[in-house]
């Protein structure tokens, strides 16, 4: 097993529906090489190889920046309205972000503690077995 097998396996499975065990059978070595050479920065392998670029390529970063720009423009607009009306600027509501309330406090928690790799692999094996039993 190499350093990036898990990331490659994940990307192959999610992007193509293939697995590493398919290489040399239904997936040619040339196809695998082409897949790896053209890996996007926001894939699992891209995140392992260059985490900084992957962060900038992610929609999460872009969405956060767009929400910040929206908030800044709303504040500028409120200030301009206040200048024209000679009243204090009314603070605009920030653009809603996932997991936060209007006061920008984190109120939502997703999941529990991290699942260990051993437990996850065991769960995945059970699900594969159930799937194979249903489809045999």
d(CA 130, CA 136): 10
d(CA 126, CA 128): 5
Quote the pLDDT of residue 42: 84
Question: Is there a contact between 23 and 2 (Cβ–Cβ < 8 Å)?
Answer: no
- Calculate the average pLDDT of the chain: 85
Quote the pLDDT of residue 51: 86
Question: Is there a contact between 68 and 40 (Cβ–Cβ < 8 Å)?
Answer: no
pLDDT in tens, 92-126: 888 888 777 666 566 656 667 778 888 888 988 99
């Amino acid at each position: 097993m190499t350093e990036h097998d898990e990331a490659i396996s994940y990307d192959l499975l999610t992007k193509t529906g293939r697995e590493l065990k398919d290489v040399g059978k239904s997936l040619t070595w040339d196809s695998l090489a082409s897949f790896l050479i053209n890996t996007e920065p926001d894939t699992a392998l891209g995140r392992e190889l260059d985490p900084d670029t992957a962060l900038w390529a992610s929609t999460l970063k872009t969405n956060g920046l767009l929400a910040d720009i929206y908030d800044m423009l709303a504040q500028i607009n409120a200030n301009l309205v206040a200048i024209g009306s000679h009243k204090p600027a009314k603070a605009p509501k920030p653009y809603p972000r996932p997991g936060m309330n209007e006061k920008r406090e984190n109120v939502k928690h997703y999941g529990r503690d991290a699942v260990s790799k051993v437990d996850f692999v065991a769960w995945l094996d059970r699900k594969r077995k159930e799937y194979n039993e249903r489809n045999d």
